[in-house]
């Protein structure tokens, strides 16, 4: 697995969801069709583990979080950027999703969760905001951001 093959795998998914509204229906669809234990989920999880191991994913670190943008939003990814983070029992920086956010949760520790969600998919609608939190262990989280749009903010009180 390398960045080019990873992009090909991501492109298969982003082609499927490129014109779909980011909402609870998309989250349900992703979990039903590509949730934990499915072929695509397993392929993406393995690709992320290899990418971290080989240093082309999560190649930066700040405040106990490993992270990195591996793909910019381009035609090849149907307008989605791809970031991957590795977190363990920590809350990340508060941010706002102008166009929404699609998260693939891949626990490295059995039972680890992301914002209360187990292994699988979580979708945040446009205009939403959160402080991303991994609890009960360590996890990789892949973020798909339409147009690569994200705005970091002061933490909500």
pLDDT digits (tens, 9 = 90+) for 17-64: 999 999 999 999 999 999 999 999 999 999 999 999 999 999 999 999
Contacts of 150 (CB under 8 A, 6+ apart): 95, 96, 97, 98, 101
Written as six digits, the tokens of 107 are 């626990």
Burial class (CB in 10 A: 0-12, 13-18, 19+), 39: exposed
Return d(Cα 36, Cα 51) in angstroms, integer. 19
* Residue 100 backbone dihedrals phi, psi, to 5 degrees: 95, 180
Over 70: is that where the pLDDT of 73 sits? yes
């Amino acid at each position: 697995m390398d960045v080019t093959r990873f992009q090909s795998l991501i492109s298969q998914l982003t082609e499927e969801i490129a014109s779909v509204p980011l909402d609870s229906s998309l989250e349900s669809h992703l979990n039903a069709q590509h949730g934990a234990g499915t072929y695509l989920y397993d392929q993406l999880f393995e690709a992320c583990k290899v990418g971290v191991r080989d240093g082309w994913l999560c190649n930066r670190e700040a405040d106990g979080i490993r992270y990195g943008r591996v793909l910019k939003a381009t035609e090849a990814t149907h307008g989605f950027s791809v970031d991957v983070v590795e977190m363990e029992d920590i809350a990340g920086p508060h941010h706002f999703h102008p166009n929404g956010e699609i998260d693939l949760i891949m626990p490295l520790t059995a039972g680890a969760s992301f914002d209360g969600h187990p292994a699988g998919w979580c979708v945040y609608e446009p205009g939403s905001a959160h402080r991303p939190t991994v609890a009960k262990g360590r996890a990789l989280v892949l973020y798909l951001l339409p147009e690569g749009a994200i705005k970091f903010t002061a933490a909500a009180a």
